[in-house]
Structure 1
Amino acid sequence: MKVLVAIDSFKGSLSSLEAGNAVKSGIEKLGCEVLVKPIADGGEGSVEALADALKAKFMDVIVANPLGEKTPARYALKGELGILEMASASGLPLIEKSRRNPLKTSTYGFGEMIAHAIAHGARKFIIGIGGSATNDAGTGMLSALGFKFTDARGEALAGTGENLIKIAAISDADVPQSIKDSEFLIACDVDNPLFGENGAAHVYGPQKGADEAAVEALDAGLRSFAGVVSKSLGKELCSERGAGAAGGLGFGFVSFLRAQLRPGIDIITEQIGLQNDVQGADLIITGEGRLDFQSRMGKTPSGVAKIAARYGVPVIALAGCVSSCAGGCNEHGIGAFFSVLNEPMSLERAMEPAVAAQNLARVAEQAVRLFMLGRGAK
């Protein structure tokens, strides 16, 4: 029996590859032919999963964090393909809660990471943009790439949330041709517009440290910036699906870098050729750290199940935690799901890599034994 294991990371515990290998160790003894395929949905862990799947190399670089302080960042490179996570350079966890302020934070360091990849031969990019600490509409990133934003007096402005309202003109005269020629595919799983009550500032600003006054100031800045972009580039993209993602970074990408915004799971399954592996499998094992109502809405388990359904391949999902609202997963292509915890233990204990791997292996073995019994009954 051929089993395809395409399981997401167990955040803070096991990478996608480690989780997949744990499952493999549990079911190989049953005589199964097992293929482990690292996978993610565009969120945290996507760079590592894609790097493992595509045999890419990791690149380390020192960039500015959201407040301009030096921080190490990492991305992956495979020939001309750069695989990046914005959060590595401009993510919320990089600054303490007491210092978070989207009026002051910037995606400049993320732009530095892109420039580093360009300098090392990247011309095509897959980028995850979840988890930002910023609300600068990508102006920080764009500034690092050579774009220039100036006020009414012609003075250059740093790319921060508080400066959006001051931007009067935009220039790309200093942007290298290598950047203009590059292709950007953005993993984006939200559909927020740039501004308004469902926009970047109102929906995500508070979790980034913005109080009510800051939210209103940021929203006004995003609205003003969109008007300047419209006049400068002749594009009305502020209402595009995902324009408000990552504090307006989605808007910055589509407006200035001709990027495509797509669901992360779709991008990654296409890149790793998951469809070809699904066609040759008798059973698929997927999963993630926590299985809940979100798992059926563009997360790894539902993405894998969607492809499996095309070819009639059954799917089992494993998770560290299964919430009471996970039942809907059965209606979205997952035949059965199981928690890997079989005895009471603390969260800290359950997340120890060795313990998590052991639990995964044990439950995977029993789930596959049950599946094989069902096949025999037929």
Structure 2
Amino acid sequence: MPTVLIAPDKFEGSLAAAEAVGDGGSASADGGAGFLAGLGAQLLDAARSAVSDGGVALSSIASVDLAAALDSMDGVHLMLDSEVDNPLTGPKGTAAVYGPQKSDESEQVRELAASLTHFADVVAVTTRSDYRDHAGAGAAGGTGVAALVLGAEFRPA
């Protein structure tokens, strides 16, 4: 079961007081973009406008500013506990493995896979590290990759 942290505003700006919560599944596949945005990251298109939520919207992201999200995690040891060890992309990635469980539209699954790949490309340029193939990156619709970007330690459940 993937473990994520509750948003810092629930704890008066301090993640140090946050409890970990677990979720055995995910109803979304946005590569963790929503998790990052919730911590203050800016997901911008080519015109420097905020990108809308959702997996397919990831294809319009031109840049990611992680400064606020990284600042919010200062002093926090983040652990990604997950029974899911899938990568974010590829034949064993989030869209390929879990997409068909959520949708019988193969074109929709291909579109999501392409969007997740694009997002992974942008994140790799931003961070100068490529987390897409890391074990657990595909957990909870890709929230795993966001946790890894924030310095999480992956612990297989």
Mark the structure with the bigger radius of gyration. Answer: 1
2-structure distance, mates of 1:210, 1:258: 35
Letter in 1 for 2:39: L
Paired residues of 2:8 and 2:72 also in contact (CA < 8 A): no
Query: Given the alignment of the two structures, is residue 250 of structure 1 paired with residue 141 of structure 2, yes or no?
Result: no
Query: Given the alignment of the two structures, is residue 216 of structure 1 paired with residue 105 of structure 2, yes or no?
Result: no
Tell me the TM-score normalized by structure 2.
0.86
Give the alignment partner of residue 195 of structure 1, picking from 83, 86, 89: 89
Deviation track 1:151-198 (CA, whole Å, cap 9, x = no partner) reads: 112111133101111111011344473433322112111221111121
- 2:37 alignment counterpart: 143
Give the alignment partner of residue 8 of structure 2, picking from 115, 119, 137: 115
Query: Given the alignment of the two structures, is residue 241 of structure 1 paired with residue 129 of structure 2, yes or no?
Result: no
2-structure distance, mates of 1:127, 1:259: 15
Q: How far is the alpha carbon of 1:137 from its aligned partner? A: 0.7
Give the alignment partner of residue 183 of structure 1, picking from 71, 77, 97: 77
Could you tell me which runs of 5 or more consecutive residues in structure 2 were left unpaired when the two chains were aligned.
none
Quote the sequence identity (%).
35
Provide runs of 4+ in structure 1 moved above 4 Å.
Answer: none
Q: How far is the alpha carbon of 1:208 from its aligned partner? A: 2.6
Letter in 1 for 2:34: G
- 2:50 alignment counterpart: 156
Deviation track 1:38-89 (CA, whole Å, cap 9, x = no partner) reads: xxxx47xxxxxxxxxxxxxxxxxxxxxxxxxxxxxxxxxxxxxxxxx66xxx
Provide the secondary structure at the position in 1 that maps to 2:154.
Answer: strand
Paired residues of 2:8 and 2:15 also in contact (CA < 8 A): no
Change in Cα spacing, 1:239 to 1:175, as seen in structure 2 (3 Å) is closer
Letter in 2 for 1:162: V
Q: Aligned Cα RMSD in Å?
A: 2.3
Change in Cα spacing, 1:233 to 1:182, as seen in structure 2 (3 Å) is same
Count of aligned pairs between the two proteins: 156
Point out which structure has higher relative CO (alpha carbons under 8 A, 6+ apart). 2
Give the alignment partner of residue 25 of structure 2, picking from 121, 126, 131: 131
Paired residues of 2:15 and 2:72 also in contact (CA < 8 A): no
- 2:153 alignment counterpart: 260
Could you tell me which runs of 5 or more consecutive residues in structure 1 were left unpaired when the two chains were aligned.
1-41, 44-84, 87-110, 265-378
